[in-house]
Structure 1
């Protein structure tokens, strides 16, 4: 006879109780990852009036880019002084892209490649471009809008 058949009607199963305890522990662990003031920060700065500062323009290589995993965004510099941003989640199966170099954003999961210029697919299996993200360049700072 299983232990679940001995429970009073309406009581949660042992499996439900264990799953809930695990989820609560995960919530505590994720909360602990924030900064001391309770907010989470990313990149090279914090918040400003226009948005979250992701990086300095000098940190984004020309023809390449930088991935901000905690914000799931990739910032590129297709040509000198021109900055673009895209979702860092591959449109094939949602993996985070892994590298940016030589004009290409590369996803390591299934080798999809996207253009640093416009996020368009250069090589599948992805069939949809990376969605554009809004950024603002103020002086030497790049902010996520």
Structure 2
């Protein structure tokens, strides 16, 4: 019985520790908005107390901005820049003379793409982000993604 309780405690602590080290989860989808045109959504859900950083940071920022590298696909053209759909928070710490453009809770990064021909294909790439709370920042993470365009 003691071994079972110990095993359950270890499992619970590992689960809690893992959740604390992964405060951002990502979802990827595509929405057809016109003939041969899609919105590609890269949506971050952020645990309470954590922040994810905008693609654009002020000059005095030390946080790593969120970046996206979309792989070249001969069937797809990117239309404009990736837009951020979320409540942008402009953080400033006067004592440390640091600022950051950040999001809490949820942010949707949206890239409009256009197909060159009627064909099934996908958008692939990698995103890199950093997340922090009031006590610490986690090392930057990379996430590979594949989003089907149907």
In our comparison, the structure showing a higher alpha carbon Rg is 1
Range into which the TM-score falls when normalised by the shorter chain:
under 0.3
When you count strand as a share of all residues, which structure comes out higher?
Answer: 2
Q: How high is the TM-score relative to the length of structure 2?
A: 0.25
Q: Which has the higher contact order (CA 8 A, sep 6+)?
A: 2
